[in-house]
Structure 1
Amino acid sequence: MAATLESKLYEAAEEGDVTVLPELIRQDREIIQRKPEFTKQVDSKGSSPLHSASAKGEGRNPLHLAAMKGKVEVLKELVRVRPQAARVAVASGETVLHLCVKYAQFESLRLLVDLMNDHEIVNAKDDYGMSILHLAVAYKQIEIIKFLLSGTGVEVNGLNTNSLTALDVLAQSRRGLKDFAIAESLRDAGALKATEISHSRPRIVRSRTETTMPRFAQDVPTNQPAKREDWLTRKRDSLMVVASLMATMSFQAGLTPPGGLWQDGSIQAPQSNNIKDGSHEAGTSITAYRSQSYYSQYLAANTISFIASMSIILLLITGLPFKRRFFMWILTVIMWIAISAMAFTYRISLLVFTPKAEELNVTHILDYALVAWLLVMALLLLAHTIRLTVNIFRKVESVVGTKRKPQPSLSYTNSSNV
């Protein structure tokens, strides 16, 4: 009977059957109340029912299953009846919140965090020292990350067993399109890398119910150089992510030129369309045979984009002093060159795909769009250059003014004139 009741309880939690669940829980509690000696009996191996329940399913109870399946109504009922079940760890020391992150169940996570309102379980770590924030960053669960950073009491700069923070986990993970948004969210919450923690105090996202003092009085740094360094660090990380994506796109575009590659070789082709030679080799670019001009422009623009992106990555990892605005301005200019070259690559690719009858109209449209793009880029470059020049002149004027500042003179009064 007990085995049947247990299986029904698991099935109800997994399927989200809220009507059956309270009755099964009532029956389960009634058995324990009437026969409490059942909980103390052991089998031939010396295991009690509690040991068996913990061992079965890697320690997962019905509440864990409901959280993994996203059964929010079942979770509410289970937490109400058995709140201690939410604190039971499963295999590898994972909590129910870890399971919510692993199975991308945002609503389950949000419900449990709000119901439990416990700083310790929010920051609980598994056997590898991974908190739910570490795990959410590793799985690129940006919605969960933003929720955790919005005021749940999560430790932003907690370390795992490898002494890595959440920001370190992001840096070592596989590059993706969400990396930029995740890095911005972490940095805005005061996240640091492990190497930066020794120079700063720990940062914790304050709980929503915490009212000890205003957030701005706790978290906003008081010294201006620290704020500037934080801004430069965020911008450097953003440039690294974008440069990596640009380099990947340029590399892929170089291997797969528009128009494709010849799949066969030495087949006689008609002497037209500016084809210099009727024969061709397998694995070579079709566009290179049909339009040498387009192919040369495409290759040049794509190569510029690739080299510029790789240059940014190389400069960022060499350890040069890129904590100054001037060096960051140089990196930004290189990034603009890479993006502009990628825009030219896009233009040429479309012209290669366009039929000859529509090539003139498409060319006009693309040229207008390209001119508008270059105009915007030029204005941005001019604005940044002017701002940088003004800052340089202010610093020079401040240094020169300090050197030329007259020393206070001592006036001596003639005692005879007194």
Structure 2
Amino acid sequence: MDERIERMRQVAQQGNIDAFYLIIQEDVKLLEHMDKLPFVDTPLHIAAQAGHIPFAMELMRLKPSFSSKLNPDGYSPIHLALQNEHIELVRRLVEVDGDLVRVKGRAGITSLHYVAATTETDDHLNLLLDFLKACPNSIEDVTVRNESALHIALKYDKLEAFLHLVRWMRRNWSQNPILWESKVLNRKDEQGNTALHIAVSKNQPKAVKQLLYSGVDVNIKNLEGKKAGDILAQQTQVENSKIKVMLQRAGALPSSSIPQVYYYAQYLWTIFSRLEKSRLHFISEWIEISDDRRNVLLVVATLLLTVTYQGVLSPPGGLWQDDQSPGANQTNITLPVIRKFNSSAPLENEAGTPIGLRNFPFWVFLSLNSLTFMLSYSTILLLIPTQHIYRIVRLSLISLSICYIVSLTVIIPTRFWEIFWYVSTGLFVCIFLLNSSATCVAWSYKALL
């Protein structure tokens, strides 16, 4: 057995697939035996260290459990590939199994942590984004020192890696906003320091700016009871005026040192942050709708759209079938005050106009019916996919909304145009705003992908 294992290691070092299968023919349970060992240098470890892509892919296909196993030094195959700069092999491994990004090696370091600490070239930065794309939740992983990838990037002065991580989080914030805010953005390491504490101590204004823009809590204290502002106040021998201004605006420094103008900036910043978080929360809820619920909402919204449109074509009370004019002997007939919209002489009944047009309840119906139409219309816009092929559906919905407005112009007679002008104008504005909101949310979702 030991002799076969040694031969297997030599074959893996050479990347010889044919020789590998010759050994397997001698002992078909050899790989299973190696898999039972808690710590072992599997053929996949050796191939990953040597950079033999075809051999490693063959092992991944036959024995995928090897990819998450640690060797006696505490490293998985993907860790070994990273240490030896076999970037393409790392990408191939992650393509097969994205969860490999979360495999923890010695000291709880994942491949994301390793790249964040060692980033030197654009290939490393691209690899960082590849990891996050393959496994977004890997951003939550921490080492045994409770350090996230943000902590590590700042600790090793890898500013570009840090900026890439934070910008990626902002673009994908809607996937898990509450959890990421507590587990990533405001995560404390073993000394109680958040990423903001480290960025301030390292005098990194760009990092501080990105963290503040992302909504980091500026009032968190570390184990020594210090906030980020306290750490800044201790730095008397370095130029940190930019960070000082940013922390002042965020309310992280004593109020006595803040000029009055900064209070207004802080107030506006607070409003912006709340609006942005509300928008992201809305997008998050919208994205997380299951396909079944999406289909149910589409059916309900479509039915409401159909019923409200039909309500305009066949309003309650019906339509006048013929033109009728009041006779000479009817000139003194008046209508109840609550049932008329002007004080002029009796009105003609025009064919095709609603019978209940003079009734106040009819205008209540028309307003609520139009509101239901707009809400259903916007709901459908939000729920349909954002791909280019669905633009035809969006154009159709816009055309339908215009037809709704035109149908109102047909049934509302000329003498009521002043009233109708207010209703139709408000309707146009509401439809435009709702349509714009739906389009903006769709674009936001598309940008997040």
Range class of TM-score, shorter chain: 0.3 to 0.5
Compute the TM-score of the two structures, normalised by the length of structure 1.
0.41
Query: By percentage of residues, which structure has more helix?
Result: 2
